Structure 1
Amino acid sequence: MVTQLTRTLEELGDMGHEALVFAPGKPPDRYGSHTVARVGSFPFRPWYPEIRAGLPTPQVERAVTAFRPDVVHAVNPVCLAAYGALSARWRDLPLLASFHTDVPQYLSALGLSPLRGAAQRWTRALHNLAQVNLCTSGPMVEQATGMGIRNVALWPKAVDTRSFSPAKASPAMRVRLTDNHREDRLVLAVGRLSREKNLEALLEPIRRLPGTRLAVVGDGPHRAELERRFAGTGTVFTGYLRGEQLAAAYASADVFAFPSTTETLGLVALESLASGVPVVGARAGGIPFAIDHGTTGFLVDPGDTDGFTARLRQLLGDDVLRARMGVAARAEAERLGWRAATASVVGSYGRAIERHGVRPLAHPGSPFARHDGHPLLYPAVNSTGPT
């Protein structure tokens, strides 16, 4: 989610647009050409302390007034972004909301099932204030529509094929990820280590696949428990990796494993495809939107340990199949650029403005503009914020 937002901001800046971003935590003052305004927040303890929920303040309203936005983008309207959605309604501004996290399902995964119904009603009510609601995968479009959310459209998937590439494979990284057993087969998992990511589903497959190592890249509140449960399997936990190290980790693996059942897109799967590494993932959430079953990887029903093990064994044991899928994975990723995806989002901003009843004047080089000739301004309000 953070990657999708930051790459979109980069493209918006290159396209001549300006954004004011509200974010909790400790964000930078600027991101590219855009201003970032820090807001107060509190950790979601004890369930998910790494997530900080933003709090609206009078400073937020003053900043919005000074910015004079043409459209408000509420990212996951739950806390801070919920206030952004309500503020847009009060100010009579066009509103676009985007659905990146299935909050009701996450609450169930975190042991807060009694709150699921209320969370779903809250989510639906806030999204239905928007003139356009973007979902990050086809399955999530269907899910949002099924929840009663209106005006739903697709935010096209995209991935950075320059940063993530088969050329980034590194013998030294493979030694690190296999704990100096580089001749063993290597399965990689990347992401935040939290309960809803379902990484325990990899424990039995790794036990059943002799000569296979698992490397887990990422950190989070569930790491200590995962390290305890995977003890004795030769699994390597690296913590967070970024930049060239992360790209090398992807490209140095044989197969990427993605057992999560709560993803709305699964950008890490796309990054693996860009790295030329096929994926075995759960047939759930947005993952089927990222993986072409039988071409760039395999999909397995959630909870099917035998099926997940069999698909991993099939790929790990067949060099020709794995290579063919790796080539197809890279080819698929090369079709998915950030500029095209962002242009689609800009078009959605335009639809939100039109549906709200505002018809901006044409401006050379921009699909909309104000009467003073400045490019259209987009404030992005984010509940959980860039990290």
Structure 2
Amino acid sequence: MPQNNPNLSQELTELRQKIKASKTAFDSTIAAYKALLDAFHTFRNSIGIVHQIKYLKDLPRALEDIARVRSLPILHLVLDKSFFAHRVPEEITLVPTEILDVHLAQFSPTIHAPRLYLGNIYDIDHPDFFLSSKIPAQQGSCFIFALRHKYQQQKTIGILSGADPDPSRFAPDQATDFLEHFCDTLSCTLVTLLEHAQLEEMSVSDSLTGVHNRAYLERHAQRILDFASRKNLPAHLLFIDLNGFKKVNDTLGHEAGDLVLIAVARTIQAMVRKYDIFVRLGGDEFVIILPDTNEHKAYSFVQRLNYALRRIDVADISGVPTNITISTSIGMARYRNGMTLEELIRAADQAMYTQKHLSRGYSSDQDQDLPDSDLKANVS
């Protein structure tokens, strides 16, 4: 039998320990690599979701998908109201700039901008502002990132925050390169979508009054009329023309005329429903489409509209003493199956001119201020 060699036994023991340590280190490296690979795939999928957002109205669904991909119980977006008001769905939280600044002040100075915070949820003031009312009751960790304007880095357009009941998931010493890049991508996408929305608004908005223009009417009216036809619902189109508007321009000046048009547009805008279509065709002509409105309701609306427009104080608006008042000729046409938009406008326009000619003291080659008279809308 070979004699026991103490030195050889010691060497074998040390070798086994080194092999075990190497295996442990290798396993740790493999685990870290897999974790990094998983994080990269999660990041890539999240970025892909952001790149697929085409309109601001798609934000809620995109956030849900991102939260699912990242296994986040809470993902909350807060946007600056001054940028995004009336442009995002109601599911997205909007706050005034000053409120946003007040809540961000607790993170100043921001050393790792755009990263504002990683750590315990309950170590920040007003966590519900950043994470909504769904914050974990007992413990949890969160991240809070500022979303910067891609052209004006000093401006914060919003905040993206996420939370998890696991208090160690978002630790202060955690590397956040992927998350930072994701938030930068989201910020740039939001600004791009905002620009597209603004361009869309400009293309379908009247530059003087701010209400929709003819392009908007042509883009959306036929869809409403087709729906009325399919569901057998009544719909009416009103063609509104201001009587004697030339006298306003000639007597008070074009600036006063513009102010009167703005006042008229705002008065009408305040009276129409959200699903009505109201546009300025041009000059002193306006059109309203009233879906799901029978003749009686349409006529009642015309009477109320005419009364409201007569109450506009031209002297007060223009700042010039005058006894000129606003009166209108309003033609009303009912939509009938198969009519095109142009045919419906033409019918209401003809009804408007019929009413205008019936008004006292008016002829087609005359453009003078008309006396107030009872409205008689012709139904085509």
Q: TM-score range by the shorter chain?
A: under 0.3
Of structures 1 and 2, the one scoring higher in RCO (CA 8 A, sep 6+) is 1
Q: TM-score, normalised by structure 2?
A: 0.24
